[in-house]
Amino acid sequence: MKTIAVYANTCALGSYKELWPKAFYEGLQHHTEWQSTYVTNRQLTNAEYAWCFAYQVRGDIKQSDNSHRRQIIDKYEPKGKIFYLDSDVLISYDGFELHKDTIRTMTLQNKRWTRQPYGNIYANQGAKYFENEFMEGAMNRWEEIKQLKNIDVKPYNGKGEYILITCNRGTEGYSAEKKNATEYAIETIEEIRQYSQRPIIVRFHRVLSDTQEQDFKVLSKYIEDKENISIQSKANDNYPDIIPVIKNAYAVCTWSSSSATPAICEGKPLYIKSKNCFFYNMNSGDIKDIEDPKVEDKRDKWFANYAATHYNLKDLSSGYYFGKVKNLI
């Protein structure tokens, strides 16, 4: 009998986040040939497989490499026998600055989605999403998700007021691979300015930590003598909803932040730096072409892939998800 441990202790127990490990564990109960354990303490089990809430990059500036999450990753990732929970790349459409109770309610109503990459967290380093197993009916599923998120897919029309740079959490997060947010922003500004004089907006991550505040100060100093460059950050109380900001943009640049993903739906050229980004295949090319973007409208394929790699609470708790992937791991 195969064994799997759901390490619920990798998220805040009792919070809305725990709905996800509970759902994954409930889904496992529909597959009695697997023995599952719901782990709430800080111990490692002898299970062959694992489920972990999110990832922690080695060398994270805020978390120890000896943390419980890192111990789980170090035990299971070398053998590739670990599921991670990762966020919905179109989460920005769920609403702006939602209260935790609203998030809980939406999750329970199956109106929020997550990814469950297996083996690795990074798309370009072997993360498995098993999208082929879920591709049948994927466009119908996309239409349902699109309606629930109130997404109106726009054509590419070349219009917009500015170039938007969206920053990852940077050195604190795992999706940026420890690339500092301000370092990325400055490099991108300087590259853009070789090819375009359009106004630029740099948008920091929504979490205002000590590191982000320092990043904001460094970037503010850098742009003091620059024209037509502004910053959106909670550090300067200028942090509107991302969706209308993207709607009014000409193009969007990012390292790998999911905050840039709505550009795909809003018909904006998207310039992505990291090949580990989940939506890297929607890259519009090089920034040198920003005034003549090489946009190929292949969005239907991407929308189908999105629907085949994002799951709501019912998909997990019913055993539907695990039933599809259990013979592939």
**Side-chain-side CA neighbours of residue 40 (13 Å):** 6
| Same domain for 242 and 144 | no
Q: CA-to-CA distance for 187 and 247, rounded, in angstroms?
A: 24
> Per-residue confidence of the chain (329 residues) as pLDDT tens digits?
999 999 999 999 999 999 999 999 999 999 999 999 999 999 999 999 999 999 998 877 778 888 999 999 999 999 999 999 999 999 999 999 999 999 999 999 999 999 999 999 998 899 999 999 999 999 999 999 999 999 999 999 999 999 999 999 877 677 777 789 999 999 999 999 999 999 999 999 998 888 889 999 999 999 999 999 999 999 999 999 999 999 999 999 999 999 999 999 999 999 999 999 999 999 998 999 999 987 878 899 999 999 999 999 999 999 999 999 999 99
| DSSP reduced 3-state for 7 | strand
Per the CB < 8 A criterion, the answer to whether 224 and 262 are in contact is: no
Q: Which two tokens stand for residue 43?
A: 């111990």
Residue 156 domain flag: no
Let me know whether 184 and 286 are in one domain.
Answer: yes
Could you tell me the pTM of the whole model?
Answer: 0.94
Question: What is the model's pLDDT at position 210?
Answer: 85
- Number of folded domains in the chain? 2
Do residues 11 and 98 both lie within one domain? Answer: yes
Query: Distance of CA 276 to CAs 121, 126, 167, Å?
Result: 9, 10, 15
Residue 252 lies in a domain: yes
For residue 289, give the DSSP letter.
G
Within a domain: 177: yes
Cβ pair 137, 127 in contact under 8 A: no
Between strands 114-115 and 49-53, the pairing is unpaired
User: Which is nearest to 262 in space by CA: 185, 184, 175, 152?
Assistant: 152
CB 87 within 8 A of CB 292: no
Which of 305, 299, 287 lies closest to 262, judged by CA? Answer: 299
Does residue 100 sit in the same domain as residue 131? yes
| 155 falls within a domain | no
Concatenate the DSSP letters of all residues of 217-237 into one string. Answer: HHHHHHTTT-SSEEEEBGGGT
Enclosing domain of residue 143:
2-150+306-328
Q: Examine residue 301 and state whether it is found in any structural domain, yes or no.
A: no
Specify whether 146 is located in the same domain as 167.
no
Residue 62 lies in a domain: yes
**Residue that the structure tokens 């998030």 belong to:** 103
> Contact, 265 vs 153, CB < 8 A?
yes
Q: Read off the DSSP letter of residue 156.
A: P
Report the candidate in 142, 236, 229 with the shortest Cα–Cα distance to residue 192: 229
Q: Are residues 55 and 176 in the same domain?
A: no
Shared-domain flag, residues 253 and 318? no
Indicate whether 102 belongs to any domain. Answer: yes
Instruction: Classify residue 255: in a domain, yes or no.
Output: yes
Same domain, 99 and 232: no
